[in-house]
Structure 1
Amino acid sequence: MNYLRASYNWGQTAARAVFYGTIGCSIGWIPGARRLTQWCMYRWCRDSANGLKIQRHLYGSHHLEANPQAILVANHLSTLDILVLGGFLKRDYRWLAKSTLFKVPFSGWYLSLAGHIPVRRDLDSDQRALLVEQGIAKVVEEGASVLFFPEGTRSENGQLKDFRIGAFMAAVRHDLPIIPLVLRGTHELMVKGAKDLSIRADRACSVTALAPIMTKDSGTGSEKERAERLKSICFEHFQNELTERRVQT
């Protein structure tokens, strides 16, 4: 690894986090300032991705525009995912992130003030699920979308991992459409465990927003049964999209 290059790449990203995080923290406590704090997140993601010379492309943006409040579901390939996604999401949204990220100076403080949802991995599953559901309910009540990485952790090999049920339970409970967001390119650019971007990888990354999956597609039954059906439908949509693009390329 070239430590000088890595220091430059992450130094400028950290500097932007301090800059936008300071703005977000300064105004985050003011009632009605949520739109400005979301703008800070959008600008940090966009400017940081541009600073890393990541070429970003968004397909299917009309699906996002037609559904201002939704459960957003994305595959998780790399640390870079949130920069690529966040640079396209101008809407009011919150994402679920491990609670340790909320302790990072500036960016973590911003996450707390902006109302993003911490996932307490130090708690047992029932306590963790209760706190997350309370956070989701508050976000939905405020009219915002919720972003999930349903695999729960980054993929080690770039392949799609099994989905967890949380995002789909949220969709059923709050009767919100699910918009699958298919990420490509971030794994090749920075694999799990890497400290810097690959110098060999193409820096082109993309997000494809698929047609929304409606909760009515889950049929009847208990919340869990309906959520399981939505999970299966969504997973199949991801698989089809990823397979189709591989065949085309």
Structure 2
Amino acid sequence: MADDARDAMTKKAFYSDAKNYWEKVPATVDGMLGGYGSISSTDIVGSQQFLKSFMHAPWAERIQNRKALDCGAGIGRVSKHLLLPLFQSVDLLEQEKAFLDEAKTYLADKAERIGDYINKGLQDFMPPPKMYDLIWCQWVLGHLSDDHLVSFFKRCKEGLADSGLICIKENIAKKGVIFDDQDSSVTRSYKEYLKVFNAAGLKVVKEHTQTNFPLEIYTVKIIALR
């Protein structure tokens, strides 16, 4: 299974097939969550509790609340309910233009605190140096190959403000890497993620397993990195 997943990540179709899949997904909360729109509130509460522990930490470890980046932002669900209540300004990074167009409506009441709507894939994004106090990546990293993920994380490190954090919230496989041919993505085990973090020069600061999600879906972890 892992060998099949690694083979899939090396093919050009890995990215084009994913793009074709997401072009057909409705620009709604339910669409962003693969039909599990009902978990949105539980998801947000778990993420809030995790992030607030860093916003109230001792000064040397505390993240500031100036600017966040929402990676794989979709229509802005995470930006609206998690990031904007905690940060002064948020940028959205999303490769599907239709989702960003919908985000402008979905976030209309927060428009003055949205920085940039960035229409790019993560593999092509270059953050400005020391720009972000938080770079948040949720249910999107499975669409990057291992090499592109390492490169993305290295660039994100340069884009972090002093004391900033990269946080990921992703499905976690029990073992190895699993390829999903429906949306052309991979699900990595925690051990596989640790290999990627190490290659990018990142260390795990804190990790937490999301609770109260449906039993039939993957385990979901939130991981903070510096």
What's the TM-score once normalised by structure 2's chain length?
Answer: 0.38
More strand per residue: 1 or 2? 2
More helix per residue: 1 or 2? 1
Computing the radius of gyration from Cα coordinates, the structure with the larger value is 1
Q: Which has the higher contact order (CA 8 A, sep 6+)?
A: 1
